[in-house]
C-alpha cells in the first residue's frame, strides 16, 4: 500500500485536536496529501460567539466526477485521563488494537481515506477521468458552525461541485461491515422556561408558582409521541435532558423553572412542525412561558442507488458481509452535504467512540482502507 493507514492514524491521534484546537492535525494531513499531488486549500472561518475553526479542502484532479471523502480531525475531550490505561494521545498499539482519542471517531477513517486515495493514484496515475477530494473540518464535535457547512459555501462560490460523498463517521455497532448510514433523523433542542411570581412558600396565594405548570407541560409532552416510525426511519424520540430551577431556598417559590428537550425526528416531520407540536402542548396548559427552538439539522435520506450499491459491493468483496443501510443514531455533517450530492456514511465501529480507551482493531482499520480503495476503483470504472 502506497500509504500505511495505521501509521497515519497514529500520527493524527498524536495531535491532541480537541475541538476547536487543531494541534497540527490538518498541517500533517495536508503535507501527506500534497505528497501525492493533491492541491490543498486551508480556510479559517469565524462567527461571533463561536471559536475560529481551521478546515481543509484537498483535491486531486480538475474534472468531473468529483468523489469526496468527508470527515473531521477534531475530537472530544478525554474525560478522566487517569481512567485511561494508556496516554490518550500516544496512539499505542496493544494486542492488535490502536488506542487513542479519535481512533474510532474518526482519525482512523481519515487515515483510511488518504491511504485509499494514495493507492488509487499510484495505480491509475493522476489522469483517471475525474477528481478525488477530501473535505476535513475541525468543527464536527463542536457547534458545527464554522466547519463543513461553510466549506461547502466556499466551494459553491468557487464553482467546486461534488458528485458523490462518503463520510467516514463510525457507523458499525460492533464489527466493521455491519452498517452504513444513508440518512439521519433531524435534531432539535427545545428550551422551555415557565415564568411566575416569586414569593414565600407559606403564602402561596401571594405568589404564582411556575413549577406546577412546568410539570404539566412536561407531562403533556412525555405522554404523547410524535410517531411510530416510517419506512426508512425509526420512531422519533423526545428526550428530557435537564430540569433546572436554581432555587437554593426551601421556603421560596421560584420565579421560573426551566426544562430542555432534545428531539430526534424522522422524515414524517420538519423541524418547524415539531416545534409547533411542542408549543401546542405548552399552550394546552397555559400561562406565561418562553420556548427557545434550535434546529441543528433536518432529517434526510439518500435513497439506495448507485453510491450505496458501490459501497455495499466493496464491503462484500473485501470482508464478505453486506452492511445494513440504516438511518439510526445521531446526526453528522452529512446533513449539510446532502444538499450538494448523494452522500453515504461508513467508517469504523461506534462502540468505543467517545469512551475511555477509545480504540480500533488494526486489522479492521486496514480493511477499511481497502474498502475505500475498492469504492474508488468501482466509482471511476463504472457509470456512476
Kindly list the catalytic residues.
74, 140
Alpha carbon 307 to chain centroid, angstroms: 20
C-alpha cell at 185: 433523523
CB distance 141 to 75 below 8 Å: yes
Beta strands in the chain (DSSP E): 39-47, 50-60, 66-72, 92-94, 97-99, 131-137, 164-167, 179-181, 183-184, 186-195, 199-200, 237-244, 252-253, 256-265, 289-297, 300-301, 324-326, 343-345, 359-361
Phi, psi of 240 (to 5 degrees): -75, 120
C-alpha cell at 338: 446532502
- Picking from 257, 234, 262, 236, the residue whose alpha carbon sits closest to that of residue 247 is 257
C-alpha cell at 33: 496529501
Any bridge partners for residue 21, and if so which?
A: none
- Picking from 372, 382, 384, the residue whose alpha carbon sits closest to that of residue 71 is 372
CB distance 180 to 348 below 8 Å: no
C-alpha cell at 13: 491521534
CA gap 279, 295 in Å, rounded: 15
CB distance 210 to 283 below 8 Å: no
Amino acid at each position: 500500500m502506497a500509504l500505511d493507514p495505521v501509521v497515519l492514524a497514529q500520527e493524527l491521534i498524536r495531535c491532541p485536536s480537541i475541538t476547536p484546537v487543531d494541534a497540527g492535525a490538518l498541517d500533517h494531513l495536508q503535507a501527506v496529501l500534497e505528497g501525492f499531488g493533491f492541491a490543498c486549500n486551508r480556510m479559517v472561518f469565524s462567527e461571533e460567539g463561536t471559536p475560529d475553526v481551521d478546515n481543509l479542502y484537498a483535491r486531486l484532479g480538475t474534472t468531473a466526477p468529483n468523489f469526496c471523502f468527508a470527515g473531521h480531525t477534531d475530537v472530544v475531550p478525554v474525560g478522566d485521563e487517569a481512567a485511561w490505561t494508556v496516554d490518550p494521545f500516544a496512539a499505542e498499539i496493544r494486542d492488535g488494537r490502536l488506542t487513542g482519542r479519535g481512533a474510532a471517531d474518526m482519525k482512523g477513517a481519515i487515515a483510511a481515506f488518504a491511504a485509499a486515495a494514495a493507492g488509487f493514484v499510484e495505480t491509475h496515475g493522476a489522469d483517471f477521468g475525474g477528481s478525488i477530494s477530501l473535505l476535513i473540518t475541525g468543527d464536527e464535535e463542536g457547534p458545527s458552525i464554522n466547519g463543513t457547512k461553510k466549506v461547502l459555501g466556499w466551494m459553491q462560490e468557487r464553482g467546486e461541485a461534488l458528485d458523490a460523498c462518503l463520510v467516514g463517521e463510525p457507523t458499525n455497532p460492533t464489527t466493521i461491515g455491519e452498517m452504513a448510514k444513508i440518512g439521519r433523523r433531524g435534531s432539535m433542542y427545545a428550551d422551555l422556561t415557565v415564568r411566575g411570581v416569586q414569593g414565600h412558600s407559606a403564602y402561596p396565594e401571594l405568589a404564582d408558582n411556575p413549577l406546577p405548570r412546568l410539570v404539566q407541560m412536561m407531562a403533556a409532552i412525555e405522554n404523547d409521541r410524535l410517531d411510530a416510525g416510517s419506512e426508512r426511519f425509526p420512531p422519533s424520540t423526545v428526550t428530557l435532558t435537564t430540569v433546572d430551577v436554581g432555587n437554593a431556598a426551601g421556603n421560596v417559590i421560584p420565579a421560573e423553572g426551566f426544562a430542555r428537550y432534545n428531539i430526534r425526528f424522522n422524515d414524517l416531520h420538519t423541524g418547524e412542525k415539531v416545534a409547533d407540536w411542542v408549543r401546542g402542548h405548552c399552550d394546552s396548559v397555559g400561562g406565561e412561558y418562553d420556548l427557545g427552538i434550535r434546529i441543528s439539522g433536518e432529517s434526510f435520506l439518500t435513497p439506495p442507488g448507485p453510491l450505496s450499491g458501490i459501497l455495499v459491493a466493496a464491503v462484500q468483496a473485501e470482508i464478505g458481509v453486506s452492511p445494513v443501510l440504516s438511518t439510526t443514531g445521531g446526526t453528522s455533517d452529512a446533513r449539510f452535504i446532502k444538499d450538494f450530492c448523494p452522500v453515504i456514511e461508513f467508517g469504523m465501529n461506534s462502540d468505543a467512540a467517545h469512551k475511555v480507551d477509545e480504540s480500533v482493531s488494526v486489522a479492521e482499520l486496514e480493511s477499511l482502507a481497502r474498502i475505500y480503495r475498492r469504492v474508488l476503483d468501482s466509482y471511476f470504472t463504472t457509470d456512476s
